[in-house]
Amino acid sequence: MDLAEPNCGISAPGAVLSADMSEAVVARAYGGPEVLSVIDVAVPEPGPGQVRIEVRAAGVNPVDHKLYSGAFGTDPAKLPMRLGTEAAGVVSAVGAGATGPAGPIEVGDEVIVYRAPGAYAAELLVPASAVVPKPAGLSWEQAGGLMVAGATAVHVLEAIGLRGNEPVLIHGAAGGVGLMAVQLAVERGATVLGTASPAKHDLLRDLGVIPIAYGPGLADRVRAAAPGGVHAAADLVGTDEAVDVSVELVADVSRIATIAAFERGARAGIKRLGGGPGADPGTDVRAAARLRLTEAAEAGRLRVLVAAGHPLGEAAAAHRQIMTGHTTGKIVLIP
């Protein structure tokens, strides 16, 4: 999970006054997906160190719904609330000194933006520091869904101290973060056991994962698949089962992490990551992961699976889909 502050505007200190209008998705109230709508917003010309992006795809993540659901509070001052934290697109204008992590940025560059508050939009004004080159081999939909799940997966694997050539249990292996985490873990040489529904087991096998069905008897199935035990575990779904089985099977609780079960994780004494209460946001780790992820995707070592794409005007449908918790891969919005 990745949590960015909701942001109704898109300008930043130093932006000039002239601006064009663009479409963006906002939550007008706290509640369910029915509160989402598309409005016109001003997109200023970039000031020093800023970049304007024509968005081609924006990633949808579970935290986006949680922000306006009231899970993190219901401050009326944050409404209407801009949504989204990641996008991919084409640079349409640059300010003086616009240099990103990979070097100078120019008009026409195809890029990924993370973090990008308010990314559900047709155009964005962002700091150049948030912009990295888009891998040529990725579609816009894939590029728009790479960073939040990928950076979260890197953070999780760092937090559990994953080393090569050891068994690791990953709950929710076929979700957006899970698919990234299992690939990165396999690349490190780990033996990866991933929980998922049986319908997704063939996909996991194709990625080099030993699939395990969740549900009653999970701990026994993991023991049968890994007789020598598992050394670390990552909960990417937030269920009591995922936490309980991890604690039962992993001897060292410091090598267990969750990105969703914050209250249960606190009671179990395991690491909590992301934007929940008491969690480690991993800001530096996630920022440093960006170029690692684009390099791995460019080299073909990391696949980005896209479950569905929706127009901006169908953001509510995209959120209803992700709220089921059963999507395989990323959901994106396409302006």
Residues 6+ apart with CB under 8 A from 14: 47, 48, 49, 50, 95
**DSSP E strands, 155-305:** 167-171, 191-196, 210-213, 232-235, 256-258, 271-272
Q: Measure the CA–CA gap between 113 and 89, rounded to whole angstroms.
A: 8
- How is residue 150 written in tokens? 């990928």
Cα within 13 Å of Cα(122), Cβ side? 15
- Does position 190 have pLDDT exceeding 90, yes or no? yes
Q: Measure the CA–CA gap between 325 and 70, rounded to whole angstroms.
A: 18
Q: Measure the CA–CA gap between 179 and 230, rounded to whole angstroms.
A: 19
Contact between 83 and 68 (Cβ < 8 Å): yes
Distances (CA, A) of 122 to 10, 20, 61, 90: 12, 11, 18, 11
- Does position 276 have pLDDT exceeding 70, yes or no? yes
- The pLDDT mean for the chain works out to 93
Which of 24-33 are b and which e, b meaning 16 or more Cβ less than 10 Å from the residue's Cβ? bbbbeebeeb
Task: Please report the pLDDT score of residue 164 as a whole number.
Answer: 85
| DSSP 8-class letter at 34 | G
Ordered by where they begin, the domains of the chain are 19-146+304-334 (3.90.180.10), 149-272 (3.90.180.10)
Contact between 282 and 155 (Cβ < 8 Å): yes
Please write the tens of the pLDDT for every residue from 46-76. Answer: 999 999 999 999 999 999 999 999 988 999 9
Task: Please report the pLDDT score of residue 18 as a whole number.
Answer: 60
Alpha-carbon dihedral angle through residues 162, 166, 167, 171, given to the nearest 10 degrees: 10
Q: Measure the CA–CA gap between 334 and 88, rounded to whole angstroms.
A: 10
- Does position 12 have pLDDT exceeding 70, yes or no? no
Q: Measure the CA–CA gap between 86 and 111, rounded to whole angstroms.
A: 11
Q: Measure the CA–CA gap between 208 and 100, rounded to whole angstroms.
A: 34
Q: Measure the CA–CA gap between 167 and 193, rounded to whole angstroms.
A: 7
- Does position 252 have pLDDT exceeding 70, yes or no? yes
Average confidence (pLDDT) over 109-127: 97
- Does position 3 have pLDDT exceeding 80, yes or no? no
- Max distance between CA atoms of the chain, in angstroms, equals 65
Task: Please report the pLDDT score of residue 277 as a whole number.
Answer: 86
Please write the tens of the pLDDT for every residue from 201-234. Answer: 999 999 999 999 999 999 999 999 999 999 999 9
Task: Please report the pLDDT score of residue 13 as a whole number.
Answer: 35
Q: Which of 17-26, 55-64, 148-157, 212-221 has the lowest mean pLDDT?
A: 17-26
Return the percentage of the chain with pLDDT > 90, whole number. 90
Residue of 172 and 15 predicted with greater confidence: 172
In the chain, the amino acid numbered 178 is G
